[in-house]
Amino acid sequence: MKRGYAEISASVNQLNRSDTLSVGEKATMGETTTADTGQNTVRRNVSMADVAQHAGVSSQTVSRVSNGMPNVDEATRERVVASMRALGYRPNRAARSLKTGQFKSIGVIMFTLSTFGNMRTLDAIAMASAAAGYTLTLMPVPHPTQGSISGAFSRLNEQAVDGIVIIFEAHVLDDADFALPRGVPVVIIDSDAGDAYTVVDADQALGARLATEHLLELGHTNVFHVAGPTASFSAMRRLEAWRSTLAGAGITAPTPLHGDWSAESGYAHGLELAKNPEVTAIFAANDQMALGIMRALHQSGREVPGDMSVVGFDDTDEAGSFWPPLTTVHQDFSEVGRLCIEKLLGEIEGTHERPGTTIVPTRLVVRDSTGPYAG
C-alpha cells in the first residue's frame, strides 16, 4: 500500500537523525556503511550515486528526496527511501552544512499554539519552508518576556538554524526596552515592532473598520464590541479601529467587553448583551467568540439576524457552517506565512534590503448573520 508524503518524509528524517558515525566518516557527503562478508567486516562509502543506481533514478532525484523537496512523485519518493534503507544510506546534513555554510533549517518561536490564526500561519510557514528545502524547529515559550525569548534564541542557535520566525500576539516586542539578540536573521509576525525589524501581518485595522462600517451601513445606530485579550496586539488593533470608525460616524463607542478568544467567553458576554435592548449589532474580535455570542442570543430568544446582527473575524473554515452562516473578516494566513518565509530567506541569502512592515490586506465576507436594523 502506498504511503503518504508526510510518512515518507518522516522516514527520510528518521534516516537523517540515525547518524551515529565517526567525525572522520562524516567528512564525505556519502555515509560509511558496513558489509559482513562472513570473515571480515568491510567498510565502504555508500554514495548518493549508489542510491540512485539502486532506485533507478538520477542523483538529483535522490538529493530532492533527501532534502524533503515536494517536487518528486510519491511512487519515486517511496522507491528512493526504500533504496536508502536497503543500502544503509544516511544523508549527511553536517557535511552539507560545512560545504554550503547553511543548515537549511528555520526556527519558529511561538507563545501559543491554541489560536486558529497561529496554527494556520504556522501551517503556511511549514509549507513554504518545505518548498524551499528547509526544515522547521518549533520552540514554544511559556511567557512572552525578554528572558523567555532570549532563552529560546539561545536554544535555537545551539540547534544551528539559519533564521528565526517569531509569532507573538503580545505587546512585548513593542516595548522600547526590548531588544532581540543579534546575529541571526529574524522575521516577526503579528506585532507592532516598528521599522527596526522585518514584520509581516494582516491588516487588522482595515478588517475591523470594514466590519464596523458594514453594520452601520445596515442602519444600526451603534456597534457593540467583544474584544480579545488586552495583552494581544491584534485584539487591540481591532478595538482601536472599531472605536475610531464609530467616532468618525459621530457615535460614542460603548464600553468594550473582553474575551479570551474562546467560544465560552463569547457565550458569557452574549448572555449579557442579550439583556440590553439597545444592542442590535455586535462585532466580535474572532469567529469562536462570535459563535458563542450567537448561541447565547438564540438561547435568549434574540433572533440572528432579525433582532441582532453579528460579525466575526478570521473567516475560519467552519464560519460558513455556523447557523446562520457567519459574516466575518477574512485573513489570508497563507499569504502571511508565504511572505514571512520569502523575506526571511532574503535575509539569509543577503538579498533583503532593509527591515520594515509588510501588511497583507483583509476583506469582509458577507453571509447571513447580518441584516438591516429592525428599528
**Within this chain, do residues 254 and 224 fall inside the same structural domain, yes or no?**
yes
In a domain, 369, yes or no: no
Q: Is beta strand 41-46 parallel, antiparallel or unpaired with respect to 363-365? A: unpaired
Q: Is 18 found in the same domain as 162?
A: no
Q: Tens digits of per-residue pLDDT, 164-220? A: 999 877 665 555 455 676 778 999 997 666 677 899 999 999 999 999 999 999 999
Residue 36 resides in a domain? yes
DSSP 321: G
Residue 337 grid cell? 506565512
pLDDT for 18: 39
Residue with cell 483583509: 362
What CATH number has the domain bearing residue 75?
Answer: 1.10.260.40
Are residues 83 and 44 both part of a single domain?
Answer: yes
Distance (Å, whole) CA 220 – CA 321: 25
- State the pLDDT at residue 41: 42
Same domain? For 127 and 183 the reply is yes
Output the pLDDT for position 93: 56
* Distance between CA atoms of residues 34 and 17, nearest Å: 18
First-to-last CA distance in the chain?
Answer: 63
Domain stops at, among 84, 99, 114: 99
CA distance 88 to 39: 20
Same-domain status, 196 and 281: no
Q: What is the pLDDT of residue 172?
A: 57
Q: Is 371 inside a domain boundary?
A: no
Q: What is the β-pairing status of strands 328-330 and 363-365? A: antiparallel
Query: What is residue 360's three-state secondary structure?
Result: strand
Q: Write the CATH number for 314.
A: 3.40.50.2300
Distances (CA, A) of 47 to 62, 100, 194, 327: 10, 18, 48, 57
- Give Cβ neighbours of residue 77 (< 8 Å, ≥ 6 apart): 5, 8, 65
DSSP label of 294:
H
Q: What is the pLDDT of residue 32?
A: 39
Are 95 and 148 contained in the same domain?
A: no
Single out the residue in 32, 64, 99 at which a domain terminates: 99
**Is 370 part of a structural domain of the chain?**
no
263 in the same domain as 235:
yes
Inside any domain, residue 188: yes
Q: What is the pTM of this model?
A: 0.74
Model pLDDT, residue 17: 41
Predicted confidence at residue 102, as pLDDT, reads: 67
- Residues 253, 176 share a domain: no
CA torsion angle for 142, 146, 149, 151 (degrees, to 10)?
Answer: -100
* Domain coverage including residue 275: 204-331
Kindly state whether residues 121 and 92 are assigned to the same domain. no
Q: In tens digits, what is the pLDDT along the chain, a chain of 375 residues? A: 444 434 434 444 444 443 333 333 333 334 434 434 344 444 457 888 999 999 999 988 988 887 667 788 889 988 988 888 888 886 665 555 545 556 789 999 998 787 888 899 999 999 999 999 899 999 988 777 777 877 888 788 777 789 999 987 766 555 545 567 677 899 999 766 667 789 999 999 999 999 999 999 999 999 999 999 998 889 999 999 999 999 999 999 999 999 999 999 999 999 999 999 999 999 999 999 999 999 999 999 999 999 999 999 999 999 999 999 999 999 999 999 999 999 999 999 888 767 889 999 999 999 999 999 987
Task: Dump pLDDT digits (tens) for 325-334.
Answer: 999 999 999 9
Structural domain total, the chain: 3
pLDDT (0 to 100) of residue 91: 64
Q: Identify the bridge partners of residue 170 per DSSP, sorted by sequence position.
A: 232
Residue with cell 467583544: 226
Q: Does 368 map to a domain? A: no
- Examine the fold and report which residue of 73, 99, 125 is the final residue of a domain before the chain moves on: 99
Of the CA atoms within 13 Å of residue 42, those in its CB half-sphere come to 8
